[in-house]
Chain A
Amino acid sequence: MGRIQLKKVQKKFGDVEVIPPLDLEINDGEFVVFVGPSGCGKSTLLRLIAGLEDTTSGMIEINGADATDAPPAKRGLAMVFQSYALYPHMSVRNNIAFPMRMAKMSKEEQNKRIESAAIALNLTDYLDRKPGQLSGGQRQRVAIGRAIVREPAAFLFDEPLSNLDAALRVGMRMEILELHKKLNTTMVYVTHDQVEAMTMADKIVVLQAGVIEQVGSPLELYRTPRNNFVAGFIGSPKMNFLDGTEASKHGAETIGIRSEHIEVSTTDGLWQGTVGVAEHLGSDTFIHVHGISGCEPMTVRTSGDVAVRHGDNVFLTPNDAMIHKFNKEGLRI
């Protein structure tokens, strides 16, 4: 069981309010991702849940019990840190055993759990090494191993993949997801990478300046962003925003259109512009088009390899049904 509820939770550092009173519900077995630009308070929020920071006011409930003032160890949560935070003087085996040792678990049970964690995480050959002798990916696996053996109510991940290189990151992403499917335990995951958020989450929590902008499934956020911040933050490449006359034609202050919802033609279309940079990815082509009023540059995504070059004249037509409209306050209309 791993149900976490935040009720009017607030955090101040001195006089600075990092997180204004906030409510959030994390259900048992959910994979929840906190995402937002750096400094948005997502890590602080995770640390509040972990108990590594004290709440200024409000209440944190874990499985229905008030855990606001409980020390980290008593909350039944396990955390995986960005820097792995392994104990450098202990072998991999002792690192993984540490939480069980603290819980005074029997030696047999400890060994049993270490063995099964090692098999699950491919660490069997490295159990007697020190963390310093392992690669980044292996260290991260040890950190995860140390978290699993406790059989926690929920796992907390604080940007666990940002120290890994791109290829390894995709692999570890899959491993964490498979682990989630297998254990079916609540996971709360902090990242600044919206691709990670989109691919991993059951539920995404978008934060900005300590405020929850929107909570929803990845596709909900993608299709119906509540405001222009969420619209711009979720999705890659970034949503194109237009204001001025184009927007008022749709009765809005600003309109947004995603790059894949624009058609490119070399002969005719609604907007005319010139190609700046064309990024050929093979499967897709991202074309950055200049000269369209109210949006500079506009990014268009087309399937396959499209033969356009720098300086070419192109015509763009948006799919009207896919246009997002926002009012003066930036809220979705």
Chain B
Amino acid sequence: MARAVSKRTKVLNTTVAGALGFLLFFPILWIIILSFKTEEDAIRAPLEVLFDSGWTMDSFSAVQARSDYLKHFTNSVIISVGSTLLGLLIAIPAAWSMAFVPSKQTKNILMWMLSTKMLPPVGVLVPIYLLFRDFNLLDTRIGLTIVLTLINLPIIVWMLYTYFKEIPSEILEAARMDGAALREEIIYVLTPMAIPGMASTALLNIILAWNEAFWTINLTAANAAPLTAFITSYSSPEGLFYAKLSAASIMAIAPILIMGWFSQNQLVRGLTFGAVK
């Protein structure tokens, strides 16, 4: 039964929720505002920034003139999409076998995989850096794709495992009775039923890989640098360039924000899958 909510409570809830939402969004809003200011205006007191300065697109043109946005953007796309596809390729069979042919160790393996996410990445920076150096992978897109695949693999496996678990095993047994071999069972029955889950896994991983900053910054210099490294280049020892930094940030997060906006239904459904049917 739905609980009765008074009008006052509703107004109060809406106000509090709205205020919280605004608070969370505020840093992004401030970046957007700063990106349309000159460097001099950007470091003035907040109220002066808002009401006592003009608007300009100069920062954007300055950023584009100094660095090749398109190259970094392409790198970001290749690395995030590439690592997601590679991750799915490894994770689908792994999650399939853990969900449908579990052994006594399945739970332990899953926990062990998750535990690797608890390790601070900086703890393995040196060995990975040295490996990359020896294998000539430093500042290459393939190197970053591999590292991000490995970083996000536990999450991909976990998510897919949860989705596969939701598929009733009787349906797969029915397919087996109907004469489907393992390959046909996966192609005609399992995959179509798992596509919504795979899609949200892929989306989430593209976002995670796109935003990943530790490895992308530490293992690249110029050639393979994605947008995260492109932002960092505007926070330099010579001083902070707030307006340009803001403009660069907007340019870096805009594509993924837009993608997230259009796919939010899929994302929310994917993340709450199983909890809310």
Contact = CB atoms under 8 A, between A and B. Distances in A.
A and B held together in a complex? yes
Given A81-B174, A85-B171, A85-B174, A102 B179 contact: yes
A25 B184 CA distance: 33
A227 to B, nearest CB: 34
A232 interface: no
B178 A73 contact: yes
A73 B177 contact: yes
Label chain A's interface by main secondary structure.
Answer: loop
B142 interface: no
B239 interface: no
A88 B166 CA distance: 13
Interface residues on B, range: 10 to 19
Given A89-B192, A89-B193, A150 B170 contact: no
A73 B173 contact: no
A83 B179 contact: no
B178 A98 contact: yes
Nearest to A77: B177
Interface in B119-172: 168, 170-171
Nearest to A149: B178
Contact of B179 (A52, A89, A103): A103
Nearest to A143: B174
Nearest to A89: B192
A79 B177 contact: yes
Contacts of B189: 87
A85 B170 contact: yes
B193 A102 contact: no
Contact of B193 (A78, A88, A146): A88
Nearest to A82: B170
Given A88-B193, A89-B193, A102-B184, A71 B174 contact: no
Nearest to B173: A52
A99 interface: yes
A273 interface: no
Contacts of B170: 81-83, 85
A102 B177 contact: no
Contacts of A81: 170, 173-174
Interface of B: 168, 170-171, 173-181, 184, 188-189, 192-193
10 contacts: A52-B173, A72-B177, A73-B180, A78-B177, A83-B168, A85-B173, A88-B171, A98-B178, A99-B179, A150-B179
Given A88-B193, A98-B188, A102-B180, 19 more contacts: A52-B177, A72-B173, A72-B176, A72-B177, A73-B177, A77-B177, A79-B174, A79-B177, A83-B170, A85-B174, A86-B171, A87-B188, A98-B180, A99-B178, A102-B184, A103-B179, A146-B174, A146-B178, A150-B178
